[in-house]
Amino acid sequence: MTEYIIISVASGILFGILDGVINANPLAQKLYDAYKPIAKTSINPIVGIVIDLVYGFVMAGAFLLLYNSLPGETGLIKGISFGLLVWFFRVVMNVASQWVMFKVPVQTLLYSLIAGLGEMLILGVLYGLTLKPAM
């Protein structure tokens, strides 16, 4: 249980850092200009941190629940499998919806897909290398 809490907090912090790197870099800022008309002009960092920490706990818990069902013999492969699974449900489905509903440049959608893949694989590898369900 202690391991789960530590990894959940660590992954929540990592979520926040990765989101910052992915969304605040100059390339992303240019690509995300398409969202300017509907984007907030300021963010609440405390709420953002809490949300990322909650994501960390939920993702780590989901990984543990799915562990035995994930493909692969090692934790690393299971983590990569989990990262790909989450990427599909979290990122690909969101990007597909944006593509259908909004006038967003293809480059922006591709950036979201690629950056999201990297983020989910990093988190999946973290879980795969550190978490195993209690027997």
Cα distance between residue 23 and residue 48, in whole Å? 13
**In percent, how much of the chain has pLDDT > 90?**
74
Q: What is the pTM of this model?
A: 0.88
Residues 6+ apart with CB under 8 A from 4: 60, 61, 64, 131
Q: Is 135 inside any structural domain?
A: no
Q: Is the pLDDT of residue 23 over 80?
A: yes
Cα distance between residue 9 and residue 7, in whole Å? 5
Q: Is 114 inside any structural domain?
A: yes
- Residue 10 corresponds to which tokens in the numbers above? 């660590």
Kindly report, residue by residue over 70-90, the tens digit of the pLDDT. Answer: 999 999 999 999 999 999 999
Kindly report, residue by residue over 107-134, the tens digit of the pLDDT. Answer: 999 999 999 999 999 999 999 999 999 8
Q: Is 105 inside any structural domain?
A: yes
- Domain holding 85, by residue range, is 2-130
Per the structure, how many domains does the chain have? 1
Q: What are phi and psi of 69, to 5 degrees?
A: -90, -15
Element housing 38 (H / E):
none
